[in-house]
Amino acid sequence: MSPFREASLTALREIRRNLGSTKGIAMFVLFVLGGSVPSLLELAAVKLLGRDPTQGMSPDDQRMLLEQGLARVYPEETAKHLSYCPPILFLLFQLTLFFAPFFVLLIGFDQIAGDIQHRAIRYIAGRSRRESIVVGKALGVWAVISVMLLVLHITVWIVVAATGTTTAAALLSWGPRIWLFSVAACASFAGLTGLISSFFRTPIVALLVGVVVFVALWIIAKIFGWIEATKVAAWALPFKYEDLVVSHQPLRVLGGIGAYIGWGAVMTAAASLVVKRRDI
């Protein structure tokens, strides 16, 4: 049997297991609720200001205002490109990038550590290469988070369509793209989660260490990005790849998606090596 077949069988099992478990259902509900956060934020802003800040502005003026704001963070061309994205979807993307590592961690922290703790992995290890088990689990977690993100994003799309704050064309053009970028970003975090989980026998330890590692990497990435001399080093971490996927250049976008997935693949390969060498 090929390793791909082994990995796909394990991935399908992980999907079934996650979506059918209490934890999976709780996460699913959390994601649906999370989908309404950007909409609630928009409504809250309107309420706090007492009026819609864009009230009375033409769509072009609104876009120009957004572009000016984005230009503070992104290069001019990228800011212009992103100004066409419905703000609520862009906000959703930012929130996803910020929270995704923790969502992935919550779903996958016990994927390997949990099986090693209770030795359930022994039922599988005699039938499948350990590398395939790790890859299958990572793919399974990635697939589950992708489905949950889709639910979250669709919730936002529905809210946006219902409130009429953006055009259907913009929604159809940017909605799936933003979801795809979010999914790609999650590949990195699914890989890293798998690697962290592979080191430990106790899932809660994997979870706590995972939180520390994710926060530490996020801080390191920010520091690298601020200091001119270390800006190049920031590309070693997935947080930087956002610059690529939001680009107006399709090749850079593809490069960014590839970088996210590639980084996740490297982490998964490292996790495979750890599990292959360790006693189970």
Partner 1 sequence: METEKAVPDATEPAAPSAADAPPSEGTPAAEGSTSPSESALPFSATGQPAPKKKGKAKLKASDKPAAIDLKGVVKQFGNVTAVNDVTFEVPDGSVFGLIGPNGAGKTTTFSMLAGYLAPTSGEIYVLDRLPTAVDELRGQVGVLPQDALLPGQEKVGPFLVYLAELQGMSPGEAKTAVESVLTEVEGLPWWNMRCGQLSHGMAKRVGLAQALLGNPRVVLLDEPTAGLDPRVAYGVRQIVRSRKGRSTLVISSHNLQELEEICDYAAILDRGVLVAHGTMSELTASSHEIRIELAAGPVPLDAVRTVQGVTTAGWDKASRELSVTFDRQQADAEEMIRRVIYVLYQYNARVSGIAKGRGLEQRVMELTE
Residues that bind partner 1 (CB under 8 A): 1, 6, 9-10, 13, 16-17, 20-22, 115, 118-129, 277, 279-280
Kindly tell me which of 18 and 182 has the beta carbon lying closer to partner 1.
18
| Smallest distance, partner 1 to C-beta of residue 239, A | 33
Residue 270, class by beta-carbon neighbours within 10 Å (0-12 exposed, 13-18 middle, 19+ buried)? middle
- Least distance in Å: CB of 108 to partner 1? 15
Give the nearest distance from C-beta 217 to partner 1 in angstroms: 30
The span from the CA of 203 to the CA of 271, in Å, is: 15
| Calpha distance 191→266 (Å, rounded) | 7
E-strand ranges in 8-80 read none
Measured from the CB atom, the residue of 51 and 122 that comes closer to partner 1 is 122
φ and ψ at 279, to 5 degrees? -75, 140
Q: In this structure, are residues 97 and 182 in contact, taking their beta carbons and an 8 Å threshold?
A: yes
Q: In the bound complex, what is the minimum distance in angstroms from residue 143's beta carbon to partner 1?
A: 16
Task: Tell me which residue of 127, 38, 121 sits closest to 87, measured CA to CA.
Answer: 38
Nearer to partner 1, 62 or 117 (CB): 117
Residue (124 or 183) nearer to partner 1, CB: 124
Nearer to partner 1, 17 or 63 (CB): 17
Q: At what angle do helices 168-199 and 203-226 cross, to 10 degrees?
A: 120
Q: Which long-range contacts (CB under 8 A, 24 or more apart) does 209-215 make?
A: 210/105, 210/109, 211/102, 211/105, 214/101, 214/102, 214/105, 214/189
In the complex, what is the shortest distance from the CB of residue 77 to partner 1, in angstroms, rounded to a whole number? 49
The least distance separating partner 1 from the CB of residue 131, rounded to whole angstroms, comes to: 10
Please, which residue, 157 or 200, has the CB nearer to partner 1? 200
Alpha carbon distance 232, 213 (integer Å): 21
